[in-house]
Chain A
Amino acid sequence: MALSLADLAAEPDEHFALDHHPTWDDLFDLHRYLQIGLADLLADWDVEALGPLRLTKGRIRTTAICPAQVLAEVDPFSINFNMAVGIVCDAAAGVLALHPAFPQSNGWYRDLEASLRQEHNHLTGFVDGLSATDRADFDHVVDDLCGSLPELLGDLRPHRPTVHHRIAAIPDRAVVISGEVDIGVDTRFGRRLDDGVDRLPRPGRILAEVKSGAFNPRVTDELAHYGLIVSLQQLHQLHHLEQPQRDKPLGRPESGNPRTVVGCSITLGDLGVTPVALGAEILETAARRVLETTSGLVEINQTMETGGAPPTNPGDHCRWCRRVALCPDAPDLVLAELNASLRPLPAFDPKFDNSRFDGDEFTDEDDA
């Protein structure tokens, strides 16, 4: 029997290495690092006029590839086959987290259609427009992938699941870091750490990301992004950072450490449940990405305000960029391919990493 998220929640010590789990001091240092870096990058940012800079998971990913990709956000929402499959898988996971015996009668898409029409009408519009053949393919792929979800999730109800939980942290008044956690569950860690100090038992939280593709190291980055946000939230709850009240804990006071936050990747393409420890070093890397993204977006913003050409980083990844047809720096080879490729999409391959098509760019739009 495959490992499930419920198994991880029930026996977390069996699956997570926590040797470098951050302490309050680590988180405090992390926050200082972010504060100093952001203050430097945003010294000229007029937050009253421009509003805060919003750093979503999607922006962090695309800016690292090519900073100009953010400009594609101006285009109308578009959806493709793989994105549609990913959204239905996410929705199915969200339903199963609360209702593990969700009745299956007409196939996953049809059984979820009423809620999808309310929450993802762009998706249902896309599916309605599919040809009969494509629609049959779509239903087949969705049913194939979602069919494994009950086993990969298990019964999460005893673990206080949260579903599609929007989270955000504000390390600097000019920056909002945000994301949406597919599924979160409570757990309790009880293992003695390597330093020999008992801190037992202590509460924890598993943040799970559901992917319709196969496991990819990028999923770890996404989980680290969530881990960073939740860690900053804990620190804020404990300290009320604007007023130094370290002796007045507002979080869960039974432990001398922050609530242990770990990640879990649930990949339907390879039927994998992969625990991901979110140690201090991983969170530092996530914080560094926040600073790099901020730097890239500030530069793009300045360029656009002054009417200059936005900085780009052309390469093979241009094939997946939404503004490739508008970009002056797109490689000729890619453009030639695109011109010649007005042909049907390749057949869907569950092993294909479609984590970039999880619709994340559109989950934080209503922050304002």
Chain B
Amino acid sequence: MSEPDGSPNHGPHGEGSTSGEGGGDTEPLHRRLDAELADRLAEAALRCEDGEVRDLDRAQLVRVSGFDLQTAARCQAKAAAPPPEFEPSIFTTSRAVALRSVRWLRRSGSVVGAVSDAMRQIRRADRHPDDGSGTDLDWLGLYLSDESAAPVDVRVRIAARAVTWLATTLDVLGVDDLAATRRWRHDIRPRWRYPGRGLTLDGRVDLAIPVSGNFTPVFVVNNLHPATLDETAFNVCLWTINQRRPPLDVVVVDLPTATRRTIDPEELFERGVTAAVRTAEAVTARSEVPVNGPSTAAGEPLARGPAAMSRNPSPLVCQDCFWAPNCSAKADFDTKPIRKGGVQLTTANRVATRQRPPM
């Protein structure tokens, strides 16, 4: 059985690369995907540093992540804005804790025990027996060990969210016997590198469950928005290239509705490549953003890159968008009636409900 972790790069110029070999329909799927990504990302790649990824500094790389995928699927222009600074918080750490708890499930014998053991282990990484220094801590360990940033109530809230995530996931997957999780893999990071350019696609697979001599990737999501499915498709593409074969099935667990969808991966490849191209176009255009940010002068167009991209304003998308102050699409959207949860809440001019002046 091939193990899904380790994620060696088998991209165009990585180990096992077959770029330039063969062709036609008989070529294995992973090679066709590889070639298609290289072809369709060529224009975006031209905006990236010249050189192989392994030879470039981290700061020189343009990385396209699942987060970017979701952003670009909702509004491509927003994905071209400078990315928000990552800040660890209850919202951004609980999923990571839940995933790291998977390996403790069998040993701990319960979801609560697994999360508790995982959090203890994450925070213990810095307790070096010799000097107590914290060199082994990763970003999560650093956050959870910082009493001022993550005091006990914050840690308990993170644990509570992790427990809820994990318990619901196990329920939806129909896992009663935690011993069955022994061979599960979690938090796998497939990656694809553009040949000769500093562009990488960074994917993430939440869980991989062994089925019939292969691993089935499982994606745990909080909604079935098309953007979420785009990200899933993107990750399945990267998984297929890294594994050198497609999975038999792809499973998507939707936590709020407690449902799971089994998807034929063939349905996802085109979607995944298209989403990757859309996102890479936006992310690589970030270098064209003016140093001082978007102009605030009325009528002045946005920076060249984002202005050429599709925009899809909505309250959720625009609320923290870099371009919002002078985005013409948003300005246009703001003149329309407010709609929430399917219901139109105002008339077109947004003040028609004020039939009686406020007291």
Q: Which of A's residues lie within 8 Å of B, judged by CB?
A: 50-54, 56, 59, 70-71, 73-74, 91, 94-95, 97-99, 102-103, 111-115, 118-119, 157-158, 160-170, 178, 230, 233, 236-237, 250-252, 297, 300-301, 304-305, 307, 309, 323, 325-328, 330, 335, 338-339, 364, 366-368
Determine if B176 is an interface residue (Cβ-Cβ < 8 Å): yes
Report whether A339 and B359 are in contact in the complex, using a CB–CB cutoff of 8 Å. Answer: yes
Report whether A325 and B167 are in contact in the complex, using a CB–CB cutoff of 8 Å. Answer: no
Report whether A304 and B347 are in contact in the complex, using a CB–CB cutoff of 8 Å. Answer: yes
Docked CA distance A52–B150 (Å): 38
Report whether A178 and B154 are in contact in the complex, using a CB–CB cutoff of 8 Å. Answer: no
| Chain B residue with Cβ nearest A111 | B153
Q: What 0/1 readout, one digit per residue, does chain B (274-318) give for beta carbons within 8 Å of chain A?
A: 000000000000000000000000000000000000000010100
Report whether B174 and A52 are in contact in the complex, using a CB–CB cutoff of 8 Å. Answer: no
Report whether A167 and B160 are in contact in the complex, using a CB–CB cutoff of 8 Å. Answer: no
Specify which chain B residues have a CB less than 8 angstroms from the CB of A52 in the assembled complex: 342
- What are 14 inter-chain pairs, A to B, with CB distance below 8 A? A71-B345, A73-B341, A74-B340, A95-B160, A98-B112, A99-B156, A113-B153, A115-B156, A164-B164, A167-B256, A305-B344, A323-B353, A328-B356, A330-B356
Determine if B354 is an interface residue (Cβ-Cβ < 8 Å): yes
Determine if B121 is an interface residue (Cβ-Cβ < 8 Å): no
Given A114-B151, A167-B256, A326-B356, A161:B345 Cβ within 8 A: no
Report whether A74 and B345 are in contact in the complex, using a CB–CB cutoff of 8 Å. Answer: yes
Docked CA distance A187–B353 (Å): 49
Q: Which of B's residues lie within 8 Å of A, judged by CB?
A: 89-91, 110-112, 150-154, 156-157, 159-161, 163-164, 167-168, 172, 174, 176, 222-223, 225, 255-260, 314, 316, 337-347, 352-356, 358-359
Report whether A51 and B342 are in contact in the complex, using a CB–CB cutoff of 8 Å. Answer: yes
Q: Nearest Cβ distance between residue A62 and chain B, in whole angstroms?
A: 12
Specify which chain B residues have a CB less than 8 angstroms from the CB of A300 in the assembled complex: 343
Docked CA distance A192–B343 (Å): 46
Partner of B160, one of A98, A304, A307: A98
Report whether A237 and B172 are in contact in the complex, using a CB–CB cutoff of 8 Å. Answer: yes
Partner of B256, one of A56, A59, A115, A166: A166
| Chain A residue with Cβ nearest B176 | A252
Specify which chain B residues have a CB less than 8 angstroms from the CB of A119 in the assembled complex: 90, 157
Q: Nearest Cβ distance between residue B326 and chain A, in whole angstroms?
A: 23
Partner of B161, one of A74, A163, A252, A307: A163
Specify which chain A residues have a CB less than 8 angstroms from the CB of B159 in the assembled complex: 98-99
| Chain A residue with Cβ nearest B255 | A166
Docked CA distance A366–B223 (Å): 10
Given A236-B257, A237-B172, A326-B358, A297:B156 Cβ within 8 A: no
Given A99-B156, A233-B258, A325-B359, A54:B341 Cβ within 8 A: yes
Docked CA distance A95–B346 (Å): 39
| Chain B residue with Cβ nearest A94 | B160
Given A54-B342, A114-B151, A160-B111, A98:B358 Cβ within 8 A: no
